[in-house]
Structure formats: structure tokens, C-alpha cells
Structure 1
Amino acid sequence: MTDGDHPRFPLLLPPDTAGLDGMRATLTGADAVGDLGTDLAATLAWVTSVARPHSLATTWELLASVAARDVAAARMLEPHLDALAILDEAAAAGFAPDLDTSGSWGVFAAEGPGMRLEARRDAGTWTLHGTKPWCSLAADLDRALVTAWVDDTHRQLFALDLRDPAVTARPGPWHARGLERVVSAPIDVDGAPAVPVGDAGWYLRRPGFAHGGVGVAACWWGGAVPLRDPLAAAAARDSADQLSRVHLARADVALWAARAVLVETATVFGAGGEASEGLRANRARTVVADAVETTVAEAARALGPGPLVVDEAHARRVADLQVYIRQHHGDRDLARIGADIAAGNAAW
């Protein structure tokens, strides 16, 4: 996994890609965090110091490279960068929210049964009321972009100061064995002021929605890449049999194919102008999720229980990935892909 005691870099891009020199300094900063991903305060302090890359490809490279170091750290970095990208996208679209963008950010857009966050406007001021589920690190972040219902059928994006006394972050329930420090629990909001970011429905309509979804997949992929290395080591032993090489090959081919998909997707999205970005994003996420599931399964079959019980870093990586990959919508994304193809939107 390592080159001079550091994970391989770059993972996705050619070594001479513009922007990678600056990213090396960013990753050196990550390496300097003694307990990256487990020391929450130190990791979030590093997250807020990260400068946004100037292209989609280098953003995904950064996310994958961080995940190769620590999955939880990538899980903290990804929504922070996504929130800043959304704010830039809003400004480019003609929306100009007056916001302090300093500090750490999250993006809370999930919905859940029995919970509803509503936005109300009175004399030009928006306030949020209700409960929002799955708000990762809400007790530890400074601010978040949050979707809230403005009527019975439409949601709108708002910037919310999580330190406002009208916002209460619940401590759980959170019994996770993977991503255990990234508590994702509801927040209760009782009239906290919020700043609109875009109009109703803009959050889902914008091209960056698809881009952000694949950014998460880049984290999954980068987190799985180091699992290939113990498979390669096992297959290289003098006592190795053909089966150990089969396990390695299955993981390698799956990760290689997913890497190709991520690179092509970044190229297409970076060029702009594709009408079916949602379809391409769902395809890419599905390919990457399948590759990660394959890699985790092949590592378990080839290596047995040993690394899961005696190698803390390996066990934590597997546990983190198994929680993180559940952000994939699985068969629901496949159903969306099938619907798009049936509607004639199947261009490759």
C-alpha cells in the first residue's frame, strides 16, 4: 500500500497532472494528523485548512487519496468540499447569499419517516422548524447546507448555523462499529434563522448534484484500494495457490474498471454540456459500489478472519467502508438507470 510509508499518490490521475503539487502539501498535512479520522477535532481542523482543488478530477483525486489514508477522514472532508462547491455554484447561477463561509461545513439533505424540517418566511426572514435526520457531525461542525420543505411538494436549500441555540444535535442513536466517530443523528430546529441558497428545487436541478454523488464514490473507491495490497502479498507468497491469485485478480479487475469509470466521468463532467449527467452519475456510482463490495468480499475470503481481529487499521477500514457504502442507493439507483434507458436516454 505504501511508498515510503505513505499511500500511493496519485491514485486516479497521471503524476504530471496540473494541481497535484499543491495537493501533495495538503496530503502531507493529513499525514501530520497523528490519529487521522479518529481524533475528531484534529481531523476537522485539517479539513477546514484544505484548499478546494480547481477541477473535478483533482477533487476526486484528493478524496480518493485521503480515503486511502483513512476512510473516516474522507467522510469528513467530502461534504465540506461539496458544501463550498454548492455555494460557488449558487453564486455562478445568480444567487448571492450573504454568508460567512469559514469553519467546517456539512450537507444535510436526507429525509426520513416521521421527521420533517420546514422553512417558513416572515417579513423576509426565513426560519427552520422541525427535525432533520442523518445529520453527520452536526454536534461538531460550524455550519451546514440543509434542505427544508417550503410547501407540501417542494424543498429548498438553506445555510444554517449549527451553533445557533435553536439547533439541537442529538447524540444518537449511533451504535456504529464503522465510522464510529462520524455520528449521523437527527437535529431538532426550533426557529433558527437560515439563509436561502438557490430557489425551490434548485439543489436537485443543478449539475453539481450529479458531480457530488460521484465524489462520494471516489471516496469509496480510494478507501478500498489499500485492501488490494494484502491480497497481492498473500498471492506472492511461496505457499500461495491459484485461489489466492483468483481473489487478487477479482479485486484488481473490479478496482481497475471502477478507476477507468471515475476518470472518464470526471473528463465528461469537466467538459460540461451533457444532458444525462444523472444517468452517468448513477452508472458510475453503481460500478464503484460493486467494485468496493467485490474487493471487501475477496479480501475476507482470501485473508480469513486474521486481519479483521489482529490488524486494527485493516479492521477499521473494512468496518468504515461497510457503513459508508450503504450511502449507495443500490437497487433504487439501478431502477433509475433502467427508467432512463427505457425512456431512450441510454447514450454511452
Structure 2
Amino acid sequence: MRAPETVGRNVCEQEPPTFGEAERHTGRIAARLTEEIASGGLDLPLPGGGSTWLRWERLRDLAQEDLSLARLAEGHTDAIAILSELGGPPAEPGSVWGVWAAHPPGMPLIADKTGGNWRLHGAKPFCSGARVCTHALVSADIAAGERRLFAVRTDETEPRTGTWASAGMAASDTLTVHFDGVDAEPAGRPGGYVGRPGFHHGGAGVAACWFGGALAVARPLAARADRVEADAHLLSAFGAVDRELYAAGSVLRRASREIDDHPRDGSRAAVLAARVRAVVADTCTRVLRRTGEALGAGPLAGDAAYARATADLCVYIRQHHAERDLSELGTLVAPGTWMGAANDY
């Protein structure tokens, strides 16, 4: 056993750790997002327009590259779709949009109208792209307990650093943003944001990002399974992962066709989104577990891309609220409704 002073000396002589890599990665993701927008890479077909799968396929592929990039791209493209549906202000060329619509308890964002102008006051958590978005669609409470969507320029907002603790999805620059009388332009009528079929189409599109993240997590396991020395246990794990991914991909493809066939059916869209999100979230959970158990700690310690993909996916799929969302799905397809829809399976 080495003496304590020898251990200390060796540590001091080692190359110091590199600080700031997380910030640099966040900057790279922001640059990739603006590059995609400028090049037209995010000029995607609108949901329900006949090419929904092409839209989701692009989000899936971006998620395989980086889930934070996909999260920001999904927010931007969702905002463009919402503006199209609700008749909001057109997006300026080169602008970067987000959708900031979380409403956790205890953090109200209030919209008031004074002299014909709307202004926002308060705080909004979970604002992805808080420092890269030039514009955002923001939901806020108005009089009589109603909620409305507003378009804002983000140069008037105040992102609060240090309000995202997790390493997972850190590069999505998701922060709490404060609004102190920020000018806002209404997008649609009160309740219009959640009352349209497109709300559910967008929710299903998020699952396409989760799916791409699961593909990225599974990639090292696929590479290991392709080696001659792969044993039966590893091949069994990879077979299970392949099964899960195939099933989730099939569900997404079918859902995209149903959305294109029934773009204005809100009730169908609600059921479809709940099913798709439940299936894909469960697939992601299984892929994370199977891959982690098969590969062990080595790749988490030595493969930065795999470690990041794993951490990101663990956080991102928490947008699915497990039993709470399954309860909502059960309510939507309660026995009376379900018996009439059994031919859907």
C-alpha cells in the first residue's frame, strides 16, 4: 500500500480536471440549433398535413444526435405549428422560438391588460432555450381563472441561472424565467392552446424525441452485440431492446398515419397521444434498464456520448407522469368507450 504522502503527490501531479465542458456543450447545442434553423433543416411539415412521419423522423434523428438539441428543435417547430393553427404573429426569418407552458403549483405567471396592451408578470419555470430563443409562446393566467397563450420577445425577459440542477438535459438551457411587465401579444383565444387537436399532436411528437433518445442509448449495446465474443446474456439483452424499439417505432408510425387521416378529431388525438406517450416512455425505461445492466458501469464512466444520452433520457421521459398519465388514458378509453374502439387494436 502506498504511503499517504505518495498518494497526495501523485494526485497533485495529475492533469487538472477540465472545467466548463457543460457550458461549452450548451453553447455547441445552441449553435447547432441556430444552424438548423438558418439552413431550413427545421422547416418541417405541420402535424396532420399528410407528412407527420417525416416531421417525427427528423425529430427522432436529431434526438439520436443529442436529446437537448432535439428538445430545442421540437419546441421551435411546435411553436411554428401553434402559430399556424392559432393565427399568431408570423415567425421572423432566423428567429428561434420556444414554447413555455409549464404551470407547476406556486409559481403563477399573470397576464394583465392595461391601455389595450398585454403584459406578463411573474415567473415561469422549465423554459427550454431560455437564453437562445429570440421569441417564445408563453401561457399565463388571465382574469376569471382562464389561461391564454402569448407571444413574447425574450430580450425583455430575465432567465435565472442556477435554476436547473440536473446534469441530464442541461444543454437544453432550461431555466426559470422572470417577467417584469414584458410586452405580450395574444396567440389565439383563452383556452385555445390546449383546446386544439394540435396540442395532442405536439405531445405525440415529443415521444418521437424520446424514441430517438432510446436509439442513442441502445447504440453501444448494439455495437457490443455485433462482436464475436458477445455472450448469450448480452445477446439476450440486445434482443429485448430490439423488441422494445421495434414496437415503439411501429406505434409511432401508425400514430402518424392516424393523425394525417384525422387531423381535426380532437378526441381521437387525445387518446392517440396518451397511448403513444405511454408506450414510448415505457420503452425508454426498459431500454435504459436493459442497456445499463448489460453494459455495466464502464460506458457510463468512459463513453461521454452514452453517459450524456442516458442522463438526458432519464430526465426527458419524466414529462410522462407515469401512473397519473395512465389513469388519464384509462379515463379516456373507459370500458364503454373502449368496447366500441376494440377494433383499433
Structure 1 and Structure 2 fold alike (TM over 0.5): yes
Give the 3 Å change call, closer, same or farther, for CA 253–37 of structure 1 in structure 2.
Answer: farther
Query: Which residue number in structure 2 is paired with residue 48 of structure 1?
Result: 37
Q: 2 CA distance for matches of 1:187 and 1:173?
A: 9
Report which of the two has the higher share of helix: 2
Give the 3 Å change call, closer, same or farther, for CA 271–263 of structure 1 in structure 2.
Answer: same
Q: Where does structure 1 lack aligned partners over 5 or more consecutive residues?
A: 1-34
Aligned residue type for 2:117: T
* Count of residues in Structure 1 that have an aligned counterpart in Structure 2: 308
Shift of residue 36, structure 1, vs aligned partner: 7.7
Question: Could you give the per-residue CA deviations for residues 180-209 of structure 1, whole angstroms, max 9, x where no partner exists?
Answer: 222322111111110000000000011110
* 3-state secondary structure, aligned to 2:120: strand
| C-alpha contact 1:105 1:143 (8 A) present in aligned 2 | yes
* 3-state secondary structure, aligned to 2:171: coil
| C-alpha contact 2:79 2:99 (8 A) present in aligned 1 | yes
Give the 3 Å change call, closer, same or farther, for CA 213–86 of structure 1 in structure 2.
Answer: same
Query: Which residue number in structure 2 is paired with residue 224 of structure 1?
Result: 214
| C-alpha contact 1:36 1:70 (8 A) present in aligned 2 | no
Shift of residue 122, structure 1, vs aligned partner: 2.1
Aligned residue type for 1:148: A
Which structure would you say has the larger RCO, counting Cα contacts within 8 Å and 6 or more residues apart? 2
Question: Could you give the per-residue CA deviations for residues 63-101 of structure 1, whole angstroms, max 9, x where no partner exists?
Answer: 00111122221111110000001001113xxxx546646
Give the 3 Å change call, closer, same or farther, for CA 98–57 of structure 1 in structure 2.
Answer: closer
Query: Which residue number in structure 1 is paired with residue 72 of structure 2?
Result: 76
Q: 2 CA distance for matches of 1:115 and 1:189?
A: 12
Compare 337-346 and 36-45 and name the one that shifted more: 36-45
Question: Could you give the per-residue CA deviations for residues 297-344 of structure 1, whole angstroms, max 9, x where no partner exists?
Answer: 111111111111011111111111111111112211101011112263
Give the 3 Å change call, closer, same or farther, for CA 302–330 of structure 1 in structure 2.
Answer: same
Query: Which residue number in structure 1 is paired with residue 21 of structure 2?
Result: none
TM-score (norm 1): 0.83
Q: Alignment partner for residue 83 of structure 2, among 70, 87, 92? A: 87
* 3-state secondary structure, aligned to 2:170: coil
* 3-state secondary structure, aligned to 1:163: helix
| C-alpha contact 2:37 2:43 (8 A) present in aligned 1 | no
Query: Which residue number in structure 1 is paired with residue 9 of structure 2?
Result: none
Give the 3 Å change call, closer, same or farther, for CA 44–234 of structure 1 in structure 2.
Answer: closer
Question: Could you give the per-residue CA deviations for residues 14-66 of structure 1, whole angstroms, max 9, x where no partner exists?
Answer: xxxxxxxxxxxxxxxxxxxxx98651441232242234222321110000011
Aligned residue type for 2:216: P
Aligned residue type for 2:140: A
Shift of residue 226, structure 1, vs aligned partner: 3.1
Q: 2 CA distance for matches of 1:192 and 1:76?
A: 22
* 3-state secondary structure, aligned to 1:199: coil
Over 6 Å off, 4+ runs: none
Q: 2 CA distance for matches of 1:53 and 1:232?
A: 30
Query: Which residue number in structure 2 is paired with residue 158 of structure 1?
Result: 150
What is the identity percentage for the equivalent residue pairs of Structure 1 and Structure 2?
40
Query: Which residue number in structure 2 is paired with residue 120 of structure 1?
Result: 112
Say if 2:197 is the partner of 1:201: no
Query: Which residue number in structure 1 is paired with residue 128 of structure 2?
Result: 136
| C-alpha contact 1:155 1:200 (8 A) present in aligned 2 | yes
Q: Where does structure 2 lack aligned partners over 5 or more consecutive residues?
A: 1-23, 46-50
Q: 2 CA distance for matches of 1:285 and 1:44?
A: 25
TM-score (norm 2): 0.84
Q: 1 CA distance for matches of 2:280 and 2:117?
A: 42
